[in-house]
Amino acid sequence: MKYKIRILGIVISALFFGGIVQTNAQEMETLSEKQQAIVPIAAMTAKGDTENLKKALVEGLDSGLSINEIKEILTHLYAYAGFPRSLNALTAFRDVLEERKSDGIIDTEGAEATPMQAGKTALELGTEVQTRLSGSPVEGGIMSFAPAIDYCLKAHLFGDLFGRDNLEESSREIATLSTLSALDGTAGQIKAHLRYASNAGLSNGQIWQIVHILKDKVGMREAWRADQVLSAVFERKFPMPEPIDDVFSRGRISTANYFTGDVYNQRLVSADSTTPCQASNVTFKAGSRTRWHIHTGTQILLCTAGHGWYQEKGSPAQALSKGDAITIRPGVVHWHGAAADSEFSHISVIPNPDKNKDTWLEAVSEEDYIKVNSK
């Protein structure tokens, strides 16, 4: 029996936001409290969110992370988020420690890294570490194209940083995955480090837990970046819908019987005697959309975030995204709403609302909506 489009929309959200993860009993291991604390520390460092980073650092210390472990995490991250982010995070950490000390809190110093093994260069050590975590030698491709980056990765990242022994490799991979999830355009690196994380000893269940911690402690977009890669790698049927960054307030969920799924409506401009026009911010959850309907006057849609659809009766559906504008002429039968895998927001502009009336028709069929989203 084919799943209806509710699975593409509402059930997608229910599965993810309800915390259901496709896994087996062997993957139910969880991260320790200390490991969980690494996720927001790393992600907030990458985002440059100093205020929330300080909160995460306090939680990390309270969870049992030592001073030197956190220093090591923040130093490790410069290879992924850059020196400015790492230096700013270390400065914030120093401030946190000073504040705690003034409050009479003495945190555990922790172990220092031991010297590198005598007789072995950083390049030799790093090559061993990278090969072990990758599962095979990393060579060819971009490494042959740019030998300097190959040297830096092996000698510096995997030798000088991963080779330091006062932070477990599994913790370094938690920090790395969390950092990459806070940055745009890192899907390829996230995918590679899933393998590294597994070879460092993290179970699939523990890796999935990183996504949930990102959602709870950092942000929906960071969780979504990680989820997209993990869902593809682990062939998860219902990946997390793409969230949007709200430009205006979402308002309340509409209780009108004009929609399929959850739709938020926030009036922005009300018409009066001098301004014969109304504007509203309308936000559709993934899979949500209007019914077929008609306006007696013109309607203008100004798309502000996410991905959606607009379709006139008898015509192909038109994909919509941020920056698109649609003018809907009087008397045209149409519908609009979110894509199955993304939230969607637009400003609805209604000129002369006193005279511009709506006629609501049947719902967009599940079959038709599936066809639109399969293009």
CB atoms within 10 A of CB 234: 15
* pLDDT, tens digit, 9 for 90 and up, residues 175-205: 999 999 999 999 999 999 999 999 999 999 9
Please compute the mean of the pLDDT values over residues 241-265 and round it to a whole number: 92
pLDDT (tens digit, 9 = 90+) per residue, 10-39?
333 434 333 333 444 445 689 999 999 999
Q: Is the pLDDT of residue 246 over 90?
A: no
Q: Is the pLDDT of residue 327 over 60?
A: yes
Whether pLDDT at 3 is above 80: no
pLDDT above 90 for 239: no
> Side-chain half-sphere of 116: how many Cα atoms within 13 Å?
16
The number of residues making up the chain comes to 375
pLDDT at residue number 5:
38
Q: Which helix (H) or strand (E) holds 122?
A: helix 122-134
In this prediction, residue 335 has a pLDDT band, given cuts at 50, 70 and 90, of very high
Show the tokens assigned to 80. Answer: 């992924």
Q: Do strands 259-260 and 263-269 pair parallel, antiparallel, or not at all (unpaired)? A: unpaired
**Mean pLDDT score across all residues of the chain:** 91
In whole angstroms, how large is the CA radius of gyration of the chain? Answer: 25
- The pLDDT confidence band at residue 235, using thresholds 50, 70 and 90, is confident
Contact indicator for 302, 334 with CB cutoff of 8 Å = no
Tell me how far CA of residue 341 lies from CA of 108, 138, 307, in angstroms: 45, 34, 8
> Does residue 260 sit in helix, strand or coil?
strand
* Six-digit token string for 20: 């259901």
Query: Tokens representing 91?
Result: 């400065």
Nearest-angstrom CA–CA distance, 91 and 84: 11
Residue 172 has pLDDT above 60, yes or no: yes
Residue 9, pLDDT score: 42
CA distances from 351 to 83, 249, 272, 294, 354 (A): 52, 22, 11, 15, 9
Region 295-318 average pLDDT: 97
The architecture in CATH of the region 5-233 reads Up-down Bundle (1.20)
Which helix or strand (DSSP H or E) is residue 305 part of?
strand 299-312
Interatomic CA distance for residues 130 and 158, integer angstroms = 6
Q: pLDDT-based confidence at 375, cuts 50/70/90?
A: confident
Mean pLDDT in residue range 238-249: 87
16-20, 107-111, 261-265: the lowest-pLDDT one: 16-20
Separation CA 315–CA 319 (nearest Å): 13
* CB-based contacts of 334, cutoff 8 Å, min separation 6: 292, 293, 294, 310, 311, 312, 313, 328
Whole-structure pTM value: 0.79
Provide φ and ψ at 141, rounded to 5°: 55, -130
Give pLDDT, residue 28: 63
Tell me whether strands 289-290 and 358-360 are parallel, antiparallel or unpaired.
unpaired
- The residue ranges of every structural domain in the chain are 5-233, 252-373
What is the rounded CA–CA span in Å between residue 318 and residue 306? 14
Residue 340's nearest CA partner among 305, 306, 291 is: 306
**Third-level CATH fold of 252-373:** Jelly Rolls (2.60.120)
pLDDT digits (tens, 9 = 90+) for 64-96: 999 999 999 999 999 999 999 999 999 999 999
Which among 312, 286, 295 has a CA at the least distance from the CA of 364? 312
pLDDT value for 17: 37
Assess contact for 182 and 154: CB atoms under 8 A. Answer: no
**pLDDT at residue 270 is higher than 80:** yes
Residue 14's pLDDT is 39
- 359 pLDDT band, cuts 50/70/90, is very high
- H-helix or E-strand containing 308? strand 299-312
d(Cα 38, Cα 209) in Å, to the nearest integer? 12
363: nearest Cα among 15, 5, 3: 5
DSSP state of 291: P
Q: In the predicted model, is pLDDT for residue 169 greater than 60?
A: yes
